[in-house]
C-alpha cells in the first residue's frame, strides 16, 4: 500500500491553476516536497488532508480516499501549518493535551502522550508556562508536538523551519530526521529551501506551478551528469577549441570548460581525461579544479533540460 | 521500549512509544471541545480571577431561589415563592454579563491566533467545531436559565407538608421550566457566540455583547415609556423580551415587568422573532467560519 497516491490531481481557482494533473505515488520515508512559494505545496497538503476538494483527479492517503474519508485520514495524520497557530494564554501542556483529545485520544492517553511528546521535541520546565511567552523556536516545537501527540502514521510539515535562526533550523531538521528514522513516522516536509530538504529527505518530490517536475530518491537528484568541469586560472577558450579539435564536445564559459565525457565512439571517458590533461600541460595552464559534474537540486528550477529526464 | 523486566533502561528509556489504544474519532473530538469549552466558560483550570464573573453570576442567579426556598423550609409560609416564569426575567441582567464575560473565551483566541487550522486538521469539520462551542456555552448558560428554576421547583415540592401532593401539583410545570430554560440558553448562546466571532479581541467581543443587550434594553424601555403605539415594538429591540414573549406563547404565564405585557402583540410573533434571531445568529456563525482558511 503506498503512503500517498494521486492521480491527475488538479485544483483550479478562478484564474489560477494551483495543481495541474499531478500524479505521484509515495512510499513511507522522509519525503521532501519542494517548490517555490506558490508552487502548490500547501494546496496539495490540504487536498491530502481532505480539507479541500480537488477540481479533478483523485488522491488517497494511507489507502483512504481524501474526498470521502477526510476525517478518517485526519485521525491518523498530523499537520504542522506554516503560520503561527498557537493561543498565547494556555500552556504547552494544556494545549497539546487538548489537541490530542481533539485528535481522538482518551483523556488519560492524551496527558501521557503530551508529556512524552513535549520531551521528545525538547520542551521541559517551560511547558507549564503560557505559550505567549515562548521564543519562535519553542513555538515551532509546540506546533510539532501538537502534530505528533496522537502518534500519527504520517506527518505533514509545512515549512517547519520558517522564522528560525540557523541553530534553530539545525535542531528542527535533526528532530524531523529522528521522527522519520527513529520514530518510524512517515514525514512529508514542504519547503522552498532545497538545502534544508537535502539534509533530511530520502525522497524528493519537486513541483513547479502545480506540475510535477520530478519524483525520485534524493540521490538521483544529485547524481553525475556525465560532464566534466574544468576550472582554470585563466580564460578557457583555447582549451575548449583544442578539445573540440580532438573531437571532444567542450564549451567554455569564462574560466570554466564543461567537457562532455560521453562524446562518442572515437574517445573513451578515460581518453577525455587524458586529452584534457595533455592540453592543459601543452598550453601551460594553471588548473584549479577538475571534477565530475553533479546535478544540483537548484538545477531543477533553472529549467535545465536534462534534469527533467526522470 | 524495553520488555526485559530487569533492565534499568525501562526507567531511563527515552525512546518513542507508539500509541495502540482506542481512537475516539469525531465524537471524541467534539466531546473534547465541549468539555474544554465548558471548563473555559466556567473558569475551571484557570486562575481565581477567571472564576469571579462566571461563578459570581451563577451564585447571584441561584441566590434568590436558594434564599426563598431556605426561608420556606426553615421558617415556613411567610414569603411567597417566585413563580417559575418570573424567575429568569428577574435575573435577566445576569445573562448578558455572563455571556459577555465568558463567550469570548470560547471563540476569539482560536480565530485571532489562527488556531482553527489545527482543529480542522483533525477528525472534525467546521460545523462540528461551531456546534461543540455552542453546546459548551449553552450548557453553561443553563446554569442561569434552568438551574435556579429547578431549585425553586425542588423547594416548592420539598417544603410542602404533603410531598407527593405537591409533586403532583408542580410536576406539570417541568416541561415549561425545561423548555424555557433550553430555549433561553440556546438562543442567547448562539447570539453571544455570533457576536464574539466577529470581534478581533476578547475585550471588543465582551463590549459588543454588552452593547447589544444594554442598548437593546434601553431602547426597549424608552419605546415603552414613549408609548403611542411604539410600545408594541418595544419588546423586539431586547433579546430577553423576545425570548420572554416566546416563552409566554409556548408555555403561558405573563411577567408584569416584561415589555411583552402591554405590547399587545400576538404571541406567535415572538416565536417568529426568536426564530429570526436564532437563524441570523447561526447564519453569521456559518458565514464567519466558512471564511476561515484551513
- Asked if residue A54 and residue A104 are part of one domain, the reply reads yes
Mark yes or no for CB contact A74/B122 under 8 Å: yes
Sign, Cα dihedral of B288, B289, B290, B291: positive
Q: What is the pLDDT of residues A207-249, one digit of tens each?
A: 998 999 889 888 887 777 778 889 999 888 989 999 888 888 8
Mark yes or no for CB contact A109/B16 under 8 Å: no
- Asked if residue A270 and residue A126 are part of one domain, the reply reads no
Q: Give the pLDDT band (50/70/90) at residue A301.
A: low
- Asked if residue A262 and residue A217 are part of one domain, the reply reads no
- Asked if residue A197 and residue A281 are part of one domain, the reply reads no
Please tell me the predicted confidence (pLDDT) of residue B74. 83
**In chain A, which residue's Cα lies nearest the Cα of B13?**
A116
- The full length of chain A comes to 310
Q: Is residue A302 part of a domain?
A: no
Residues in chain B with CB shorter than 8 Å from the CB of A74 are 121-123
CATH of the domain at A205: 3.40.50.300
Mark yes or no for CB contact A81/B118 under 8 Å: yes
Mean pLDDT of A174-196: 93
- Asked if residue A259 and residue A245 are part of one domain, the reply reads yes
- Asked if residue A230 and residue A198 are part of one domain, the reply reads no
Residue B125: what are its φ and ψ, rounded to 5°? Answer: -110, 175
Can you give the C-alpha Rg of chain B in angstroms? 23
Q: How many domains does chain A have?
A: 2
B45 reaches A (C-beta below 8 A) = yes
Residues in chain B with CB shorter than 8 Å from the CB of A119 are 14
Residues in chain A with CB shorter than 8 Å from the CB of B13 are none
Q: Is residue A62 part of a domain?
A: yes
Query: Of A221, A252, A270, which residue is a domain's last?
Result: A221
- Asked if residue A204 and residue A285 are part of one domain, the reply reads no
Place of cell 475516539: B24
Please tell me the predicted confidence (pLDDT) of residue B7. 43
In the A/B pair of chains, how many CB contacts fall below 8 A? 102
Q: Does position A298 have pLDDT exceeding 70, yes or no?
A: no
CB distance A183 to A78 below 8 Å: no
CATH of the domain at A231: 3.30.70.2470
Task: Report the alpha-carbon distance of residue A240 to residue A262 in Å, rounded.
Answer: 16
Please tell me the predicted confidence (pLDDT) of residue A310. 30
- Asked if residue A119 and residue A146 are part of one domain, the reply reads yes
- Asked if residue A231 and residue A136 are part of one domain, the reply reads no
- Containing B225, the helix (H) or strand (E) segment is helix B202-226
- Asked if residue A205 and residue A67 are part of one domain, the reply reads yes
Please tell me the predicted confidence (pLDDT) of residue A306. 38
Mark yes or no for CB contact A86/B113 under 8 Å: yes
Q: Give the pLDDT band (50/70/90) at residue A297.
A: low
Burial bucket for residue A81 (CB in 10 Å: 0-12, 13-18, 19+): buried
CB distance B200 to B114 below 8 Å: no
Q: Is residue A310 part of a domain?
A: no
**In chain A, which residue's Cα lies nearest the Cα of B126?**
A51
Residues 131-150 of B with CB under 8 A from A: none
- Asked if residue A156 and residue A54 are part of one domain, the reply reads yes
Give the closest of A75, A79, A86 to B123, CB-based: A75
CB distance A57 to A8 below 8 Å: yes
CB distance B116 to B130 below 8 Å: no
Task: Report the alpha-carbon distance of residue B92 to residue B217 in Å, rounded.
Answer: 11
Please tell me the predicted confidence (pLDDT) of residue B6. 46
Beta bridge partners of A227: A260, A293
Q: Does position A122 have pLDDT exceeding 90, yes or no?
A: yes
Residue ranges of domains in chain B = 26-290
Mark yes or no for CB contact A104/B14 under 8 Å: no
- Asked if residue A216 and residue A231 are part of one domain, the reply reads no
Share of chain A above pLDDT 70, in %: 94
Query: Of A181, A200, A221, which residue is a domain's last?
Result: A221
Could you write out the DSSP letters of every residue in B1-14? ----TT-THHHH--
Averaged pLDDT, groups of 10, chain B, 294 residues long: 44 76 94 96 87 94 91 79 88 95 95 96 95 98 96 88 87 94 98 96 95 94 88 92 95 87 91 98 96 82
Please tell me the predicted confidence (pLDDT) of residue A38. 84
Q: Is residue A304 part of a domain?
A: no
Q: Does position A305 have pLDDT exceeding 70, yes or no?
A: no
Could you tell me the residue range of the domain that residue A46 belongs to? 4-221
Q: What is the pLDDT of residues A86-115, one digit of tens each?
A: 999 999 999 999 999 999 999 999 999 999
Own/partner contacts of A117-123, CB < 8 Å, gap of 24 or more, are: A117/A145, A117/A148, A117/A149, A118/A92, A118/A93, A118/A142, A118/A145, A119/B14, A120/A145, A120/A148, A120/A175, A120/A178, A120/A183, A120/B14, A120/B16, A121/A145, A121/A148, A121/A175, A122/A171, A122/A175, A123/A92
B39 reaches A (C-beta below 8 A) = no
Give the closest of A52, A101, A151 to B28, CB-based: A101
Lowest-pLDDT choice from A271-280, A298-307, B51-60, B251-260: A298-307
Burial bucket for residue A104 (CB in 10 Å: 0-12, 13-18, 19+): buried
Taking the CA of residue A49 and the nearest CA in chain B, the distance in Å comes to 7
Query: Of A221, A242, A275, which residue is a domain's last?
Result: A221
Chain A residues contacting B via beta carbons under 8 Å: 46, 49, 51-52, 71-72, 74-75, 77-79, 81, 83-89, 94, 98-99, 101-106, 109, 113, 116, 119-120, 146, 150-151, 182-184
Q: Does position A309 have pLDDT exceeding 50, yes or no?
A: no
Mark yes or no for CB contact A87/B115 under 8 Å: yes
Amino acid at each position: 500500500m503506498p503512503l500517498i497516491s494521486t492521480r491527475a490531481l488538479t485544483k483550479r481557482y478562478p484564474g489560477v491553476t494551483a495543481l495541474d494533473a499531478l500524479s505521484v505515488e509515495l512510499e513511507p520515508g522522509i519525503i521532501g516536497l519542494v517548490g517555490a512559494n506558490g508552487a502548490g505545496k500547501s494546496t496539495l497538503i490540504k487536498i491530502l488532508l481532505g480539507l479541500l476538494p480537488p477540481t479533478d483527479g483523485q488522491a488517497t492517503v494511507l489507502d483512504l480516499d481524501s474526498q470521502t474519508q477526510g476525517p478518517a485520514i485526519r485521525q491518523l495524520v498530523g499537520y504542522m501549518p506554516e503560520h503561527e497557530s498557537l493561543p498565547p494564554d494556555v500552556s504547552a501542556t494544556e494545549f497539546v493535551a487538548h489537541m490530542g483529545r481533539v485528535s481522538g485520544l482518551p483523556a488519560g492517553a492524551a496527558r501521557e502522550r503530551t508529556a512524552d511528546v513535549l520531551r521528545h521535541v525538547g520542551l521541559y520546565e517551560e511547558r507549564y508556562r503560557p505559550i505567549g511567552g515562548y521564543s519562535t523556536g519553542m513555538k515551532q516545537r509546540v506546533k510539532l508536538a501538537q502534530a505528533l501527540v496522537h502518534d500519527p502514521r504520517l506527518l505533514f510539515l509545512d515549512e517547519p523551519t520558517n522564522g528560525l535562526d540557523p541553530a534553530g533550523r539545525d535542531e528542527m531538521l535533526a528532530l524531523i530526521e529522528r521522527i522519520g528514522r527513529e520514530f518510524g513516522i512517515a514525514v512529508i516536509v514542504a519547503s522552498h529551501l532545497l538545502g534544508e530538504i537535502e539534509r533530511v529527505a530520502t525522497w524528493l518530490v519537486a513541483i513547479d506551478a502545480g506540475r510535477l517536475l520530478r519524483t525520485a530518491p534524493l540521490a538521483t537528484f544529485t547524481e553525475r551528469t556525465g560532464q566534466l568541469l574544468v576550472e582554470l586560472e585563466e580564460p578557457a577558450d583555447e582549451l575548449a577549441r583544442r578539445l573540440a579539435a580532438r573531437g571532444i564536445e567542450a564549451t567554455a564559459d569564462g574560466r570554466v570548460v564543461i567537457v562532455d565525457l560521453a562524446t562518442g565512439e572515437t574517445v573513451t571517458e578515460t581518453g577525455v581525461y587524458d586529452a584534457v590533461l595533455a592540453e592543459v600541460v601543452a598550453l601551460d595552464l594553471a588548473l584549479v579544479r577538475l571534477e565530475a559534474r553533479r546535478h544540483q537540486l537548484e538545477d531543477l528550477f533553472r529549467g535545465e533540460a536534462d534534469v527533467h529526464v526522470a | 521500549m524495553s520488555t526485559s523486566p530487569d533492565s534499568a533502561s525501562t526507567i531511563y528509556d527515552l525512546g518513542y512509544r507508539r500509541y495502540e489504544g482506542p481512537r475516539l474519532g469525531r465524537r471524541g473530538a467534539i466531546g473534547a471541545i465541549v468539555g474544554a469549552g465548558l471548563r473555559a466558560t466556567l473558569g475551571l483550570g484557570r486562575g481565581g480571577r477567571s472564576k469571579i464573573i462566571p461563578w459570581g453570576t451563577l451564585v447571584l442567579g441561584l441566590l434568590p431561589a436558594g434564599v426563598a426556598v431556605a426561608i420556606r423550609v426553615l421558617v415556613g409560609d411567610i414569603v411567597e415563592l417566585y413563580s417559575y416564569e418570573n424567575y429568569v426575567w428577574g435575573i435577566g441582567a445576569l445573562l448578558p454579563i455572563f455571556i459577555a464575560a465568558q463567550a469570548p473565551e470560547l471563540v476569539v483566541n482560536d480565530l485571532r491566533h489562527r488556531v482553527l487550522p489545527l482543529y480542522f486538521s483533525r477528525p472534525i469539520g467546521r460545523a462540528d467545531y461551531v456546534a461543540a462551542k455552542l453546546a459548551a456555552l449553552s450548557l453553561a448558560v443553563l446554569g442561569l436559565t434552568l438551574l435556579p428554576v429547578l431549585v425553586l421547583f425542588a423547594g416548592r415540592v420539598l417544603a410542602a407538608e404533603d410531598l407527593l401532593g405537591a409533586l403532583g401539583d408542580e410536576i406539570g410545570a417541568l416541561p415549561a421550566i425545561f423548555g424555557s430554560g433550553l430555549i433561553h440558553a440556546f438562543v442567547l448562546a448562539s447570539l453571544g457566540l455570533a457576536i464574539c466571532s466577529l470581534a478581533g479581541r476578547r475585550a471588543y467581543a465582551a463590549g459588543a455583547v454588552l452593547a447589544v443587550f444594554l442598548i437593546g434594553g434601553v431602547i426597549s424601555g424608552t419605546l415603552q415609556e414613549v408609548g403611542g403605539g411604539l410600545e408594541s415594538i418595544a419588546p423586539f429591540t431586547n433579546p430577553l423580551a423576545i425570548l420572554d414573549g416566546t416563552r409566554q406563547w409556548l408555555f403561558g404565564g405573563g411577567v408584569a415587568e416584561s415589555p411583552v405585557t402591554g405590547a399587545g402583540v400576538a404571541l406567535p410573533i415572538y416565536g417568529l422573532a426568536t426564530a429570526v434571531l436564532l437563524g441570523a445568529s447561526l447564519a453569521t456563525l456559518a458565514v464567519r467560519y466558512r471564511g476561515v482558511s484551513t
